Chain A
């Protein structure tokens, strides 16, 4: 189910990609086609292989078998052309802290061979879109993490790439910055012909995607539009906390096939409204908490991978620990 016209090559095409690290299989014969102009999301827990897939796409890693093409150019055999078409925003910040915003963008433009006049013009445009024009001469080190992200996104487009790859673009940002980043991505998408490939843990961000691919243990679990996925795997559910033990046992006994336990709460999959009416009629007065969850991608994710997407997110504490372990901050 590709969105590109029949005579154009797909934006990105993975064919039978496999990669293993020692005994661990990171990717197992993954094949995927992403159409031109598509907004494609890759969803999966840590270790699922999505970062590996992205790295193979960006030519940082070489696959053990299979091939990837970007707009028809094979990343191994025609690496130069493939790279020219790719704009990558990595999960870890890859800006030069000592250079200013403008210098970072110009560096990128020079390295990708953008001619001087076009470079200047395009940098000005991009700075305008991501709202960093007043910060032109600020050293990158002095920017907030939200601004850094926006800068990196702008940077990835300086060479007029057609495929924008974003690896966890909003991780570590507060809710407001997240919204801003997505707003800018939307704006960029509207103004240019862009294919966007995103990996993220924030399932709600992925709702607007054209297609979502859920990947786990190196294999594709599902690949479809968000609506279809929700319909197929996500389900409506009722979450409630019973007031006492007796109520709890009764509920579990009566609706055993629909119930699952989540801490002190019980979650029931809901087939229809009649079910809810019946349950509430029977137990309504013996409940402490009650909430209704619409069919969600989170649910689909849960159903497909058996784990919550957010469970895998490294908390800020873990990230600081990891940072300290690798040596912490140095002045250079």
Chain B
């Protein structure tokens, strides 16, 4: 009846590797399975693009187009719908990433984390599985927005979309890691809600996601239209470059150097995952 003392066999490297990969897979799979059973999150992930693209996009569209040829002050060669479309993708990814971090608080409070901590799986891989799982779900939510591409007149041909998908994946990974770094500091759900409203949303809105810092003007002139402090905040916000890179990939319009976007995203991923790992190991 007893299938042998398998726990005593010496661990070869390949056995250990396979065991570790299986562990990361298990944690990733759990995150994904939980997400498919989370109706609330799904409803949010679908209603958000509907709200933003459908209602906000159409509603504000007329204000941003040249009703009189030559009289538009902001020279952006796209409709408003096209302009905010990549930003809505980023918004969906952001919300979902942060929500998956909330589940970390949940796990810690309700004991599931302990089950994983007493296992032989190394801490770094536990964290990796968790971040990958959360990032996968966030990426999927970002892709939900892409379904509305035809409505917003954004092309999703494979050539255009490949780079965009890569950026979305990096953004999902980086933001999930950030969410976990924040979750480590906040011990209760109420605190997290406050934080998400006070920090995450301003971070999003100040990333030139819903209004362009006019690229046709030099910085000096941009200051004349927008207050100086706003321009500065937008320029130091890393999300600005991430959203800008995504916009560049999808509608081929960049306000900033496109390479910056990729650099910022990679930096975010490495930095936040590193911090999360260091803190996780220590706890």
A–B: direct contact at CB < 8 Å: yes
| B188 CB contact (under 8 Å) in A60, A94, A327 | A327
Measured CA separation A110–B190 after assembly (Å): 33
Is B109 positioned at the interface, with any CB of A under 8 Å from its CB?
A: yes
- Chain A residues within an 8 Å CB radius of B219: none
Q: How far apart sit A125 and B111, CA to CA, in the bound complex (Å)?
A: 26
Chain B residues lying within 8 Å of A331, measured Cβ to Cβ, are 40
Residues of B within 8 A of A332 (CB): 38, 40, 102-103, 106
> Is B189 interfacial (CB 8 A cutoff)?
yes
Task: Decide yes or no whether A220 CB sits under 8 A from chain B.
Answer: no
Residue B214 lies at the interface, judged by CB distance under 8 Å to chain A: no
Residues from chain B with a CB closer than 8 A to the CB of A238 are none
CA of A192 to CA of B18, assembled, Å? 26
Contact A83 B118 (CB under 8 A): yes
Residues of B within 8 A of A99 (CB): 30, 33-34
B34 close to A113 (CB less than 8 A): no
Query: How far does the alpha carbon of A233 sit from the alpha carbon of B252 in the complex, in Å?
Result: 84
Among B7, B34, B40, B110, the residue within 8 A (CB) of A159 is B7
A86 touches B23 (CB 8 A): no
Q: How far is the CA of A118 from the CA of B29 in the complex (A)?
A: 20
Interface residues of B in 99-113 (CB under 8 A from A): 102-103, 106, 109-112
Which residues of chain A are near B3, meaning CB under 8 Å? Answer: 118, 121-122, 160
The one of A92, A111, A330 in contact with B119, judged by C-beta atoms closer than 8 angstroms, is A111
B19 interfacial by beta-carbon distance below 8 Å: yes
A112 close to B19 (CB less than 8 A): yes
Nearest-neighbor residue (CB-CB) of B102 within chain A: A332
Whole-angstrom distance between the alpha carbons of A121 and B4 in the complex?
A: 13
In the bound assembly, the distance between CA atoms of A79 and B120 in angstroms comes to: 7
CA distance A264 to B103 in the complex (A): 52
Known: A84-B7, A94-B115. A111 touches B23 (CB 8 A): yes
Give the residue name and chain of the A residue nearest to B15 (CB).
A113
CB <8 Å contact, B114 and A60 = yes
Contact for A111 among B2, B26, B37, B110, CB less than 8 A: B26
Complex Cα distance A327/B191, Å?
12
CB closest chain-B residue, reference A89? B115
* Residue A254 lies at the interface, judged by CB distance under 8 Å to chain B: no
Question: In this complex, which of A86, A93, A332 has the most chain B Cβ atoms within 10 angstroms of its Cβ?
Answer: A332
Q: Collect the chain A residues with CB atoms within 8 Å of residue B117's CB.
A: 59-60
Given A111-B23, A111-B119, A332-B38, A92-B6 contact (CB < 8 Å): no
Docked Cα-Cα span, A107 to B27, in Å, equals 8
B30–A191 CB distance below 8 A: no
State whether the Cβ of A95 lies closer than 8 Å to any Cβ in chain B.
yes
Q: For A114, list chain B residues within 8 Å (CB).
A: 6
Q: How far is the CA of A168 from the CA of B186 in the complex (A)?
A: 29
A98 at the B interface (CB under 8 A): yes
Q: CB of B22 within 8 A of chain A?
A: yes
Complex Cα–Cα for A300 and B196 (A): 54
Whether, in the assembled complex, A326 has its beta carbon less than 8 Å from a beta carbon of chain B, the answer is: yes
Residue in contact with B120 in the complex, picked from A83, A88, A92, A98, CB distance below 8 Å: A83
The yes or no answer to A90 lying at the interface (CB within 8 A) is yes
98-127 of chain A: CB within 8 A of chain B: 98-99, 103, 106-108, 110-115, 118, 121-122, 125
**A162 and B7 contact, CB distance less than 8 A:** yes
Residues of A36-91 whose CB lies within 8 A of B:
58-60, 79-81, 83-86, 88, 90
Would you call B106 and A160 a contact (CB within 8 A)? no
Task: Please state if B23 and A110 are interface contacts (CB–CB under 8 Å).
Answer: yes
Residue B121 is within 8 A (CB to CB) of chain A in the complex: yes
Asked whether A125 and B1 contact (CB < 8 A) given A98-B33, A99-B30, A107-B30, the answer is yes
Checking B7, B26, B189 against A327 with a beta-carbon cut-off of 8 angstroms, the contacting residue is B189
Decide: A111 and B116 in contact? CB cutoff 8 A. Answer: yes
Residues in A with CB closer than 8 Å to B114 are 60, 88, 90, 94
| Given A59-B118, A60-B117, A110-B25, A96 and B189 contact (CB-CB distance below 8 Å) | no
Asked if B22 and A160 make an inter-chain contact with CB atoms under 8 angstroms apart, the answer reads no
Q: How far is the CB of A86 from chain B (nearest CB, A)?
A: 7
Residues of B within 8 A of A112 (CB): 19, 23, 119-121
Interface residue from A79, A83, A85, A92 paired with B111 (Cβ < 8 Å): A92
Expressed in whole angstroms, the minimum distance between the Cβ of A130 and any Cβ of chain B is 15
Given contacts A93-B111, A94-B112, A121-B3, contact A110 B26 (CB under 8 A): yes
B160 interfacial contact with A, CB 8 Å:
no
From B23, B26, B103, B116, residue with most partner A Cβ within 10 Å: B26
A145 to B119 CA separation, bound complex (whole angstroms): 24
Note all chain B residues with C-beta closer than 8 A to A111. Answer: 22-23, 26-27, 116, 119, 121
Alpha-carbon gap, A326 to B106, bound state (A): 11
The 5 closest A-B pairs by CB, nearest first: A113-B19, A110-B26, A94-B111, A83-B120, A94-B115
10 residue pairs from A and B, CB less than 8 Å apart? A90-B111, A90-B115, A92-B110, A110-B29, A111-B22, A113-B16, A121-B3, A160-B5, A330-B106, A330-B189
Which chain B residues have a beta carbon within 8 Å of chain A's beta carbons? 1-7, 11, 15-16, 18-20, 22-23, 25-27, 29-30, 33-34, 37-38, 40, 102-103, 106, 109-112, 114-122, 188-190
- Known pairs A95-B112, A113-B120, A192-B2 / 19 extra A-B pairs, C-beta < 8 Å: A80-B11, A80-B120, A83-B118, A83-B119, A83-B120, A84-B7, A85-B7, A93-B110, A99-B30, A99-B33, A107-B30, A111-B22, A111-B26, A113-B18, A115-B18, A160-B2, A160-B5, A162-B5, A332-B40
